[in-house]
Amino acid sequence: MALTPAMQNEINRRRTFAIISHPDAGKTTLTEKFLLYGGAITLAGAVKGKKNSRHAVSDWMEIEKQRGISVTSSVMQFQYDGFCINILDTPGHQDFSEDTYRTLMAADSAVMVIDASKGVEAQTRKLFKVCLLRDIPIFTFINKMDREARNPYDLLDEIEYELGIKTYPMNWPIGCGKEFKGVYDREKKEILAFTANNGQREVEATEAALDDASMKERLGEDLYQTLQDDVELLDGAGYEFDLEQVRHGKLSPVFFGSALTNFGVEPFLESFLKLTSSPLPRKTESGVVDPFDAGFSAFVFKIQANMNKAHRDRIAFMRICSGKFEKGMEVQHVQGGRKMKLSQPQQMMAQSREIIDEAYAGDIIGIFDPGIFSIGDTVCSPGMKAKFEGIPTFAPELFCRVHQKDTMKRKQFVKGTTQIAQEGAIQIFQDINSGMEEVIVGVVGTLQFDVFKYRMENEYNVEIRMENLPYQYIRWIENEEIELKSLNLTSDTRKVQDMKGRYLLLFANEWSIRWAEEHNPTLELAEFSR
């Protein structure tokens, strides 16, 4: 069945983006304002809740509430001006940058929120760099202009230097903090004067031309003159706006504003929707799948168990890449080699879930997972022969040995470690000669250990003991026939197996890796798993 014009229109109007920021830069506040404009919520504050229960709708895990950080990503959909927009929230902490990367795989563009007083924060470099790995358009929102902010030129320089991406200011701030008077829209060549607002939907906007005499009085002589000079400088010395470069993640359009006071959010959203594209084609092992292809196809980018304690279930999140999804349709699970119906298809608004009847390319759906899906798996219409390129795992850099405290809880211990590893929240390894009494857990960031321990205790009811191990590097052994016993390795190198039974070596330092390579000429080591 070919897609009807109405279905094509549905796909055309979809925009799917991830929102990323350092904790506290204002990601939640900005998301809330988007939802407010889209009518998905009616009151500012509905997403964020009160200070003493400080967590967003998108934060559902206890640990997130306690620490005030977002550990897991969630999805929100809203309508605005004829567009159907899917926002993918990402964890704000660099320790979860692998999760951010997987979420970015499901997005067609990213919005990066930066605190104007802090710029690119040291701890977040890694997170933002992950964005660049995906080559998707990156839009920057420099937030909190209503507070004391750093010089805008310095902020742009820093983004360019730290992240290696060119910037193009779409608007330019006029003052900051108490002196924040608005922004100058470079495309419209208009001043948008700021009127303090308590964050609600209606914003009083005053627009005026750059040479409007009344503006001199409103902005004050100094700011008015500075703006004239800035505009001249930007037009003369800045990069040209180039949509092709934006689309390839080489040039980031930058917007200044203040999410809390609702200034510059709607113009940002409008401009963003104009510059981003509808769902993009995706690569498969046998060619490219176009979103407008009649066949349905999707891939799993996230698996999350026990999202809701009352449900105790496991949800596989899929990004639809082509066609239309209909409830009850039969699909092929490519990796599992079988036909199936996707049960309980749902769209999420954090804790609330809604069973859906249909969804289109660009949308994210959650599917009840009885334990058959892995991250990166493809589902598609039978006979479609699509297999999306896999999602690489990051090499863990921190390791610890984990035991259950109570030996009677072995079953729960195995279930918990395996399920959490299947979600991609940790990686687990085993000594080649030991059973599952103890496992070696590898992570990219130390907070992942805390989440793992917390979840084992709260979701699986198993107390665990964790012991740090001195390893820092991991290498998969590529040659399948190699005799492990015959390997000549330093005494601090450890042989382990991953969940798929592949052999690996854990090294304490680079010197040991070189030793292994020099003393075992036939040994082939790989940094990433195949």
Q: Which is nearer to ligand G4P, 28 or 419 (CB)?
A: 28
Site string for ligand G4P, 31-50 (x = CB under 6 A): -----------------x--
CB of 144 to ligand G4P, least distance (A): 4
Size of the site for ligand G4P (CB under 6 A): 19
Q: Which is nearer to ligand G4P, 115 or 363 (CB)?
A: 115
CB of 290 to ligand G4P, least distance (A): 35
Among 26, 91, 295, 345, which residue sits at the site for ligand G4P (rule: CB under 6 A)?
A: 26
Among 146, 185, 363, 459, which residue sits at the site for ligand G4P (rule: CB under 6 A)?
A: 146
Stretch that binds ligand G4P, among 6-14, 140-148, 229-237, 423-431 (CB under 6 A): 140-148
Distance (Å, rounded) from C-alpha 368 to C-alpha 426?
21
Q: Which is nearer to ligand G4P, 29 or 278 (CB)?
A: 29
Q: Is 144 in the site for ligand G4P (CB under 6 A)?
A: yes
Q: Is 23 in the site for ligand G4P (CB under 6 A)?
A: yes
Among 1, 2, 51, 244, which residue sits at the site for ligand G4P (rule: CB under 6 A)?
A: 51
DSSP readout, 355-376? E-SEEETT-EEEEE-SS---TT
HSE-CB of 120 using CA atoms within 13 angstroms: 19
Q: Is 186 in the site for ligand G4P (CB under 6 A)?
A: no
Distance (Å, rounded) from C-alpha 449 to C-alpha 469?
13
Which residues ranging from 323 to 342 are in contact with ligand G4P (CB under 6 A)?
none
Which ranges of 248-342 would DSSP assign to H, the alpha helix?
A: 265-275
Q: Is 54 in the site for ligand G4P (CB under 6 A)?
A: yes
Look at strands 314-322 and 364-368 and give their pairing.
antiparallel
Q: Is 258 in the site for ligand G4P (CB under 6 A)?
A: yes
- Quickly count: other Cβ atoms within 10 Å of residue 43's Cβ: 11
Among 38, 92, 119, 396, which residue sits at the site for ligand G4P (rule: CB under 6 A)?
A: 92
Stretch that binds ligand G4P, among 144-152, 156-164, 271-279, 495-503 (CB under 6 A): 144-152
Residues 6+ apart with CB under 8 A from 81: 270, 273
Q: Is 147 in the site for ligand G4P (CB under 6 A)?
A: yes
Q: Is 259 in the site for ligand G4P (CB under 6 A)?
A: yes
Q: Is 447 in the site for ligand G4P (CB under 6 A)?
A: no
Distance (Å, rounded) from C-alpha 312 to C-alpha 410?
20
Residue 300: helix, strand or coil by DSSP? strand
Q: Is 24 in the site for ligand G4P (CB under 6 A)?
A: yes
DSSP readout, 42-94? SSTTTTT--GGG---TT--SHHHHHHTS--S--EEEEEETTEEEEEEE--SSG
Q: Is 21 in the site for ligand G4P (CB under 6 A)?
A: yes
- The span from the first CA to the last CA of the chain, in angstroms, equals 36
Stretch that binds ligand G4P, among 258-266, 303-311, 373-381, 452-460 (CB under 6 A): 258-266
- Inter-CA distances, 490 with 338, 437, 472, 482, Å: 45, 26, 14, 18
Q: Is 143 in the site for ligand G4P (CB under 6 A)?
A: yes
Q: Is 118 in the site for ligand G4P (CB under 6 A)?
A: no
CB 403 within 8 A of CB 438: yes
Distance (Å, rounded) from C-alpha 262 to C-alpha 141?
13
Residue 406: helix, strand or coil by DSSP? coil
CB of 110 to ligand G4P, least distance (A): 14
Among 12, 29, 86, 304, which residue sits at the site for ligand G4P (rule: CB under 6 A)?
A: 29
Among 3, 7, 14, 27, which residue sits at the site for ligand G4P (rule: CB under 6 A)?
A: 27
DSSP readout, 190-240? EEEE-----S-S----EEEETT-HHHHHHH-HHHHHHHHHHHHHHHHHSPP
Stretch that binds ligand G4P, among 74-82, 254-262, 470-478, 508-516 (CB under 6 A): 254-262
CB 128 within 8 A of CB 163: yes
- Quickly count: other Cβ atoms within 10 Å of residue 151's Cβ: 11
Q: Which is nearer to ligand G4P, 25 or 420 (CB)?
A: 25
Q: Which is nearer to ligand G4P, 72 or 258 (CB)?
A: 258
From the number of C-beta atoms within 10 Å of its C-beta (0-12, 13-18, 19+), residue 46 rates as: middle
* Interface residues toward ligand G4P, by CB under 6 A: 21, 23-29, 48, 51, 54, 92, 143-144, 146-147, 258-260
